[in-house]
Amino acid sequence: MARDRVAVSGSWAARVLKGFWGGRKAVGAVAVIAAAIAPVSAQEALPFETEFTEQVVRVPARGIVDGVAQEWSLVATLYRPQGAGPFPLVVLNHGSPGARWEREAMGRYRPLPQIREFLKRGFVVIAPMRRGYGDTGGEWAERYGTCVAPDYYRAAREGAKDVNATVAYAQSLPYVRRDQVLLVGQSAGGIAAMAAASENPSGVVAVVNLSGGRGGRPYTHPGDPCVAANMTEAIGKLARTIRVPVLWHYSENDQFFAPRHVKAWFQAFRDAGAPGKLVMQPPFQWDGHGIFGAERGLPIWTTAFDSFVKELRFAAMKPPAMIPVSDQGTAPAHPAPTPAAVSASGT
C-alpha cells in the first residue's frame, strides 16, 4: 500500500499564525507545519512532497482604503520547485464565491494539479488569499455594490492592492527572479491580476487572465453577469495603463461570462491601447468557466499558456514533463452541478 501523504488544513494554519504573532502585524512569517496533520484521500495522494516545498507565509500590505491609510496582512501559500534558483514567479490569484460563508470557508487556495504545472515549468508559485477570503479573513475588500449598479472598477482596485503586495513580498525572496513575474488569475482573480498590472509594478512582465470577470449569475442568468457594461467600462479604465501583454483565456460555454460579453470586454481593452490576445476555447463540459480547475482542462489551458510565455523568454522556463490526461469526453446535455461546485470558481 502506498504511503499516505499528509496535509494541513488552511484553518489550522491560520490559527498557528495568529497564535504565533499574538495579534500583532505579521511580516514574512512562515508557519511551521509540524503538527495537527490529517491524511489526504488516495485520490489526492500524488507525490507532490518530493517535488516542491510548501510554506504558509504572511504577506504585509498597506494602502489607502476608503480614504484612510491602513495596514494589513494576507495569508499566502508559497510553492518552490527543487533547486537553488533563482526562479521566475507566478502569483496565482483565486476567484470569488458569491456568498459570504463560501468566501470565509475557502481556507487556503491550493489547486495542486494546476500549481504542479507551473512548478514543472520552473516557476515559484505564491497563492495569496485576498482580504475577506479564507484564512486571511477580515472585511471583504472587493465589495462592488448591488447587481443593478455594480462598481467593478472599485473591486478591481482593491484586489490589486493585495496582488501587488504579494508581488513585493515574493520579490524579496532570494530564490525569486525579481524581473520575471507573471500574474495569473482565475475569474475574479483574473480581473484583480489585470488591475495589479495596470499599476505597472516593477518586474511584472505579463498577465494570464483565466475566465476573468465578476458578477456572474450561472443559475438565474447563465452567461449574463450583473450589468456587463459596467465591466466593459472598468476594463477600459484599467487597460489605459496596462503595458504588459495579457492572455485572455475563455470558453464558449462559460456559464458566468458568455462570449459576447468577453469579446466586448476585450475590445474595450484593445481600444484603450493595451496589448493582449484572446483565446476562446470550444465548449468545455457543462461550464467552460471551470476549465482551469478541472483535471481535463489541464492540457487545454497549459497549451495556451506555453504558447503565450514562449515569447517572454523566461530564463528558468523548461519543457514540462508529459503527464497522462484522459479525453475531455462528452458532457450531459443538461447537467445539474451543485451550487458549491460552480460558485467555487468565483464571480
Local structure of residue 255 (DSSP, 8 states): S
Would you state the pLDDT for residue 314? 63
Whether 106 maps to a domain, the answer reads: yes
Domain that holds residue 263: 48-322
Provide long-range contacts, Cβ within 8 A and 24+ apart, for 81-86. Answer: 81/51, 81/52, 81/119, 81/120, 81/122, 81/123, 81/124, 82/51, 82/52, 84/175, 85/124, 85/174, 85/175, 85/176, 85/177, 85/316, 86/174, 86/175, 86/176, 86/177, 86/316
Q: Residues near 26 by Cβ (< 8 Å), separated by ≥ 6?
A: 17, 20, 58, 60, 73
Would you state the pLDDT for residue 337? 35
Whether 184 maps to a domain, the answer reads: yes
Whether 33 maps to a domain, the answer reads: no
Per residue of the chain (347 residues), give pLDDT as tens: 333 232 333 332 333 223 322 333 333 333 322 222 222 232 333 444 556 789 999 999 999 988 899 999 999 999 999 888 899 999 999 999 989 999 999 999 999 999 999 999 999 999 999 999 999 999 999 999 999 999 999 999 999 999 999 999 999 999 999 999 999 999 999 999 999 999 999 999 999 999 999 999 999 999 999 999 999 999 999 999 999 999 999 999 999 999 999 999 999 999 999 999 999 999 999 999 999 999 999 999 999 999 999 988 765 455 444 333 333 333 333 333 333 333 333 45
Whether 202 maps to a domain, the answer reads: yes
Would you state the pLDDT for residue 293? 97
Whether 35 maps to a domain, the answer reads: no
Residue 255's CATH number: 3.40.50.1820
Would you state the pLDDT for residue 125? 98
Alpha-carbon distance 82 to 231, whole Å? 40
Alpha-carbon distance 92 to 129, whole Å? 10
Whether 194 maps to a domain, the answer reads: yes
Whether 255 maps to a domain, the answer reads: yes
Look at the chain and report how many structural domains it folds into: 1
Would you state the pLDDT for residue 312? 81
Would you state the pLDDT for residue 44? 38
Would you state the pLDDT for residue 127? 98
What predicted TM-score, i.e. pTM, was given to this entire model?
0.79
Would you state the pLDDT for residue 4? 29
Whether 57 maps to a domain, the answer reads: yes
